Chain A
């Protein structure tokens, strides 16, 4: 890769005037949002405010009703865009892990490398083991998801996403389904990704994490971005009544 290509010409994610309705229910009512290259953006907000929907629109698991979404400058709402290719560059981590229960841990990491990236078996396995190492689960390669704790499953899910060599990672409340004592391990893995300079969009209720590693915090409510800024500002000195109301409940 030459210097020109690697220069961050576009923001990683740029969302303009995004609207999304489910039937009559307009869930996103004109969202403008972006994530810069290498930036860590934490999205907070009450349940039902549209955080997951926004995140899922970014890799088009949800079809936007109107608006533009650019990923590294490529319009993913354009029907001509090769979605499968773009998606290999966007890692996604779900609240419910969504590991493939019929495959062991190693094969969970290998499958999409083979099917989507067309990597050879040996290479895919090597990369899978590297990423298991990274999340501290190298010794569980042969386990099945049902044999792992929630925290371990989520770390496998992160390793699975990383095995595609994504340019950015989307997290949808990655620790919300975990027992409290298992949250720390997952956050530690995510911190490590931040340290490595990964571009990240994280929907989370972990305000401590947002404050500590977030470059920016975005507060959503009722399908719009109400307020955003440096974590210390948004979390420590919120400007909007709705933000204050929300924070007073969760902090």
Chain B
């Protein structure tokens, strides 16, 4: 067989498999049930505007808080991990390895219920939702710390040397020369962290929340029981995509931009 014939046959069979799989899926689905249970326009309409002004808004607010907190704590941990003093490095390493190794759901659950039991004085404003949010901050900080550390180390040594040779102190060198360049390098992975946090705010459901504190997933689940219909899941899913898709597109664009050389 000629190589070109073989190639054509191979591609042809790939298409055949694909079409067969889609056909099997479409034929086996219960379309009446799907239309009735997932795509009920009347129910979808009733979700508005609450799904935007409460649920999506809270998802965004929780994301902003968790990302900002994660950035601050992550930066601190990254600097600790690069510290000249051993114990700082050990603590940072232990923290990062622990929180990257634990399921986020478990940590959030722990802060919503276990920590308040262990420490009677633990009572953050905002109740159990914000306790859970603290868990989310602690987990995301572990990932963000590693990203920031990698960014700092990716700044060429000559940059630090130039700053130091001009008489700038180590602190100023870090703040004015190294960190601005590090954050430029890590903008794509940091944006990815942000997308992950958006999705992980859904884990806050385990903490339980007051009506006005509900974010998209809790809101969808409550509406699902309320209407006895799965349409709210579809609408909430679309809301997540509305938030995350522009960001993932932005990451792709940034990466292309960086690959072209800044």
Contacts and interface: CB of A to CB of B under 8 A. Distances in A.
Nearest to A107: B176
Interface string A77-107: 0000000111110101010101111100000
B184 interface: yes
B158 A112 contact: no
A161 B180 contact: no
A94 B164 contact: no
A87 B161 CA distance: 11
A16 interface: no
Given A84-B169, A101-B181, A146-B262, A112 B161 contact: no
A101 B161 contact: no
Contacts of A51: none
B166 A160 contact: yes
Given A101-B262, A115-B169, A115-B172, A87 B164 contact: yes
Given A100-B177, A111-B176, A90 B184 contact: no
Interface size bucket, B side? Answer: 10 to 19
B165 A61 contact: yes
Given A61-B161, A96-B158, A102 B166 contact: no
A85 B167 contact: yes
A88 B166 contact: yes
B46 interface: no
B39 interface: no
B187 to A, nearest CB: 12
B168 interface: yes
A87 B165 CA distance: 6
Contacts of A84: 167-169
B163 interface: yes
A84 B168 CA distance: 6
Nearest to A157: B162
A90 B262 CA distance: 31
Interface in B158-192: 158-159, 161-169, 172, 176-177, 180-181, 184
A20 to B, nearest CB: 16
A61 B162 CA distance: 10
Contacts of B159: 98, 100
Contacts of A61: 161, 164-165
Contacts of A115: 168-169, 172, 176
A160 B162 CA distance: 10
A160 B168 CA distance: 13
Contacts of A101: 181, 262
B171 to A, nearest CB: 9
Nearest to A170: B165
Contacts of A117: 167
Interface core residue of A96, A112, A146 (most chain B CB under 10 Å)? A112
B168 A92 contact: no
Nearest to A109: B166
A59 interface: yes
A221 B101 CA distance: 53
Contacts of B161: 61, 94, 98
14 contacts: A61-B161, A61-B164, A87-B164, A88-B167, A92-B166, A94-B162, A98-B156, A98-B161, A111-B166, A111-B168, A115-B169, A160-B166, A161-B165, A164-B167
Interface of B: 156, 158-159, 161-169, 172, 176-177, 180-181, 184, 262
